[in-house]
Structure 1
């Protein structure tokens, strides 16, 4: 079983050596070339003092270079710490400190951010900072190629592979530790649901520093033998040209990313060749499913991406419409009372807990007892229910749930209802505390023709009166929704937006 990065690289290079592995607008690399390049760079890292277990931060945009550097580190047993290009200097220093990063590889500048100019001097674990230009100049020393190769073959599935940062709507980011075996197993278990195989030319706009891009993009392509097409900077016109030029067959990611591209498609003059399983906004009408018929694949950084789903090109049973599908092989899901931890029956809403071999190994600076229940489940903080057939329905976050006049409101339920209104492209909902209790607030990205009165009337058709937002913000595009460094909606800033 190819359950380490080194084994995956060797297997793909032997199976289809001349097939491309990763493509960006400036560079492309075959599987044979990727295997050779990562072996050489891995040996150079060994010569520079990086060993098995060494924690190495990587801060650069998507591209062949990110893939080559990250895979070289992981195959020699170093622990990769992907870092967001959206981080401010204090946020970057905090993550380097939390993960005890010993070496940092970073671009000097990207999209106006200069990451190294204000790096905190108080980082006791950090010994070396390399720019990407300096990495290009690293060379193996005498005998290090053999040592590096032996180190790579000595990596085991149980060894730590990466530390990924994630956070909820508030609180400091968490450094989530994944092993080679649990991460690769998680990717493999979700390939069918994401419709990725060795014939796929995959484009996924998520950055590699998040689990969606790292696991759903880079490692998914490596495990399945697919070709990954990526780019550092996304612009509608250039992205559409890239999708066409590289004959992309599958577009995965966030729905609003596809919707933004779809608005530019008619005037672009390009024709896409996407197959079912792609995000539907970019598919022709005859290939789209009925609303709610396809699963909303569901997961988190702690599970290394989706742990629940259904083939993205296949309708679920009608009783399961609107659900996230069923747990993948190897993953157990149970619903518990948020207060007592007792397991709840089918149909009851409570906290989602998960357990299985694809789950993270732990969280930086936290004990296992702090993270898992005594019987090994991870309390996700998400709310949901399982129906009698085992389909999981998501109801938002435990810390997002709030009461209005004594009745419970789940923001995710209100958001889903608003997205069914024609002309609404995205919606984010939260509570607005006040002297008379909570009010429901909604920030809605919609067509200019929609008004608050129209949205309110439509919401009343599908929601109980206490769930209908009383405070609205109509936004022109998805970029206006405030998000944190991990891409999740920043609830505190959302409340500020709605109270302006």
Structure 2
């Protein structure tokens, strides 16, 4: 295998949509092989930084082996192990240890409340759960409704009386015998990822060792990661995408747990970071921060945004301020997750870029399902080696076509250069007087008004038009300095409607203090629709 300490060629661009290049990466055949390969290549290189803790690749690999050898927790192979994705090195240990022991890791959002936690643990059939203390306090409330959950192990630094801690268990096992080689192959399921649940209860996505290892390589290529890279992970939870790609490249990853965007800037400067990963909502907040001019990035060469769309104005402002490209990508739980990445050196703001190597993308007509030419708007479909094996619990509703195409439920268009531009979720698009309305297009105009800090558009039932646009608007504090919020909202609505065709007009709007989001920064549009309907009914 080539020496992965050397930078990858900057000319290794992803293929254009519909015409993937030949792609046969030399990747480990199993998920835990990512760690073993990095440890063999650079055992003394720092893998993870979390506060004052620094863990080398050699140490990480030893901890993974020690955790995998704890057969008393879960004898045999093939069981499901739930791992809460807290932003802590223990997550990486438990995640890879599950694969090394021949089990399946079910990645759980540590911000879930009791009922959603009960749902994902029941659906996955988890027999052991690695959780932090905060999540365990919620888990305790539904533990009696999880008869299949045999053992709970604490991860993280905060102790919890009565629970065994992963670090204590692995400390006693270090230096012992490695677990016997398990029979799991590249096409066996290694991980269960849950969908975001923005349009319903989360579904459990089955991902194979091959899905995950290939995608780790695709991401490392697309993001220009190598052994000299230092990435700052400024996300509320630990997503395997960032973990796997950094380990694949034998790069160093800094975990930034502070919620303020300025914390990520400080962490990047302290550790000489080359890449800064964050959520659109955090980057947008950074772009709007009055103290932005006082901040600087000394070593970062690229800022990456993912999870939802980053406003074009925010991307442009950060690029201008820092002189650093700000780029986006696109992916789903069903695709391990990344399928697209914009050029990290020359991004086109508003685009999620071209498909990563080996991946195809096309747009089809929503009704006829015919493949559409460049520039046409339709539903996005994907095909590639990172596409899931299917959902847990049966074949119904997998979204997979017989020839391997995955139907995403996202509406978008592909330009002549193969770049994908996302417009909206298909379930969020609605018809007013038989005209198709994409809420995101109305939100784009809303964002141009100087008094609007944030806004969400939803469909509201209408007796005559079928549905009309309604908006929840977060106003700038100056909006109500000389009058009521109602007057400011009316001015905003008039501004927007004057710039849109009638069927996109906002018919109802209310001011709110904030737009609630999920733990990963996504808008819960269904819940907001009900909120607006409730506000209108109360009025």
Verify: 1:488 aligned to 2:511, yes or no. no
Which aligned pairs between 1:355-394 and structure 2 lie closer than 5 A?
355-367=383-395, 370-394=398-422
Q: 1:186 to 1:474 in 2, by over 3 A?
A: farther
Q: Secondary structure at the match of 2:506?
A: coil
Offset of residue 146 of structure 1: 4.2
Q: 1:12 to 1:177 in 2, by over 3 A?
A: same
* Partner of residue 36 from structure 1, selected from 39, 48, 62: 62
Maintained 8 Å contact 1:362/1:368: no
Q: Distance in 2 between matches of 1:116 and 1:254?
A: 27
* Partner of residue 119 from structure 2, selected from 90, 94, 98: 94
Q: 1:119 to 1:42 in 2, by over 3 A?
A: same
Maintained 8 Å contact 1:160/1:177: yes
Q: Distance in 2 between matches of 1:170 and 1:369?
A: 14
TM-score for the superposition, normalised by structure 2: 0.79
Maintained 8 Å contact 2:279/2:521: no
Maintained 8 Å contact 1:43/1:144: no
Maintained 8 Å contact 1:28/1:64: no
Q: Distance in 1 between matches of 2:132 and 2:322?
A: 44
Cα-to-partner distance string for 1:110-169 (whole Å, 9 max, x where unaligned): 5xx722321243434322223335133325999995451523xx5432222211111443
Verify: 1:177 aligned to 2:214, yes or no. no
Verify: 1:25 aligned to 2:43, yes or no. no
Partner of 2:472: 443
* Partner of residue 161 from structure 1, selected from 170, 190, 198: 190
Maintained 8 Å contact 1:431/1:495: yes
Maintained 8 Å contact 1:165/1:486: no
Q: Secondary structure at the match of 2:181?
A: helix
TM-score for the superposition, normalised by structure 1: 0.85
Partner of 1:312: 344
Maintained 8 Å contact 1:419/1:427: yes
Maintained 8 Å contact 1:275/1:283: no
Partner of 1:107: 132
Q: Distance in 2 between matches of 1:131 and 1:284?
A: 44
Cα-to-partner distance string for 1:229-268 (whole Å, 9 max, x where unaligned): 1144524564444333223332222222123245557289
Select between 58-67 and 464-473 the one with higher mean Cα deviation: 464-473
Q: 1:426 to 1:187 in 2, by over 3 A?
A: farther
Verify: 1:255 aligned to 2:286, yes or no. no
Partner of 2:77: 52
Q: Distance in 2 between matches of 1:425 and 1:148?
A: 54
Q: Secondary structure at the match of 2:59?
A: helix
- Higher relative CO (Cα under 8 Å, sequence separation at least 6) belongs to 2
Which aligned pairs between 1:257-272 and structure 2 lie closer than 5 A?
257-263=282-288, 266=291, 271-272=296-297
In structure 1, runs of 5+ residues without a counterpart are: none
Maintained 8 Å contact 1:203/1:230: yes
Verify: 1:65 aligned to 2:90, yes or no. yes
* Partner of residue 506 from structure 2, selected from 469, 477, 480: 469
Q: Distance in 1 between matches of 2:173 and 2:298?
A: 49
Offset of residue 9 of structure 1: 1.3
Q: 1:268 to 1:407 in 2, by over 3 A?
A: closer
Q: Distance in 2 between matches of 1:136 and 1:286?
A: 39
Offset of residue 425 of structure 1: 5.2
Offset of residue 421 of structure 1: 5.0
Q: Distance in 2 between matches of 1:444 and 1:339?
A: 33
Q: 1:374 to 1:230 in 2, by over 3 A?
A: same
Offset of residue 85 of structure 1: 1.7
Offset of residue 61 of structure 1: 2.1
Which aligned pairs between 1:376-455 and structure 2 lie closer than 5 A?
376-420=404-448, 426-437=454-465, 438-445=467-474, 447-449=476-478, 451-452=488-489, 455=492
Offset of residue 422 of structure 1: 5.4
Offset of residue 364 of structure 1: 0.8
Select between 113-122 and 223-232 the one with higher mean Cα deviation: 113-122
Offset of residue 103 of structure 1: 1.1
Q: 1:386 to 1:42 in 2, by over 3 A?
A: same
Q: Distance in 2 between matches of 1:288 and 1:428?
A: 29
Q: Distance in 2 between matches of 1:33 and 1:426?
A: 44
Partner of 1:190: 219
Q: 1:244 to 1:445 in 2, by over 3 A?
A: farther
Q: Secondary structure at the match of 2:382?
A: strand
Cα-to-partner distance string for 1:343-375 (whole Å, 9 max, x where unaligned): 333333222121211111111102178442222
Q: 1:43 to 1:266 in 2, by over 3 A?
A: same
What is the aligned residue count?
480
Maintained 8 Å contact 2:233/2:254: yes
